[in-house]
């Protein structure tokens, strides 16, 4: 517990010391450290700050891939679908801007992080295919057309 508090204090000091903003790379490293220490709220705040507004477009592709992984881990730990959506957006923009660089960033992942890359890749392929999205009305129509009765 003391480590988490200590990490939070360090991150706060890094991001606000003397009115000087840390670099995006330093912020990302702090978010990764916070995540490793179990300080999920701190990691969440840093990732959100990095990706808010127009900040995300100025982040290098490799860093966007790392942020996407952090968001996936946060989604798993905090059970918040918004984090999965944020991860997918980071991944999508990275792939759109530099597909080779994004692919290279994910090709060098440690084994324990491969699951997140696979999920992002799968979600990206689903998201790119309109035919895979079925709304409730279409589902009900298909059910009714099959001759089944809804009780």
Instruction: Please check whether residue 50 is in contact with residue 28, taking contact to mean a CB–CB distance below 8 angstroms.
Output: yes
Q: Which of 6-20, 29-43, 69-83, 117-131 has the lowest mean pLDDT?
A: 6-20
Question: Is 9 a residue whose pLDDT tops 70?
Answer: no
Indicate yes or no: pTM above 0.75: no
pLDDT mean across residues, the chain: 78
Instruction: Please check whether residue 102 is in contact with residue 65, taking contact to mean a CB–CB distance below 8 angstroms.
Output: yes
pLDDT of residue 128: 56
Instruction: Please check whether residue 124 is in contact with residue 88, taking contact to mean a CB–CB distance below 8 angstroms.
Output: yes
pLDDT of residue 58: 77
Question: Is 132 a residue whose pLDDT tops 50?
Answer: no
């Amino acid at each position: 517990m003391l480590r988490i508090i200590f990490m939070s204090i360090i991150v706060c000091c890094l991001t606000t010391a003397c009115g000087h903003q840390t670099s995006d790379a330093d912020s990302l490293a702090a978010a990764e450290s916070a995540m490793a220490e179990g300080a999920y709220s701190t990691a969440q705040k840093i990732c959100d700050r990095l990706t808010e507004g127009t900040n995300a477009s100025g982040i290098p592709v490799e860093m966007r891939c790392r942020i996407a992984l952090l968001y996936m881990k946060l989604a798993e730990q905090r059970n918040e679908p918004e984090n999965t959506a944020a991860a997918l957006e980071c991944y999508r923009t990275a792939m759109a801007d530099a597909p080779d660089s994004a692919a290279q960033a994910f090709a060098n992942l440690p084994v324990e992080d491969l699951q997140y890359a696979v999920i992002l890749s799968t979600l990206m392929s689903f998201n790119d295919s309109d035919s895979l999205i079925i709304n409730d009305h279409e589902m009900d129509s298909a059910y009714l057309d099959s001759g089944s009765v809804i009780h």
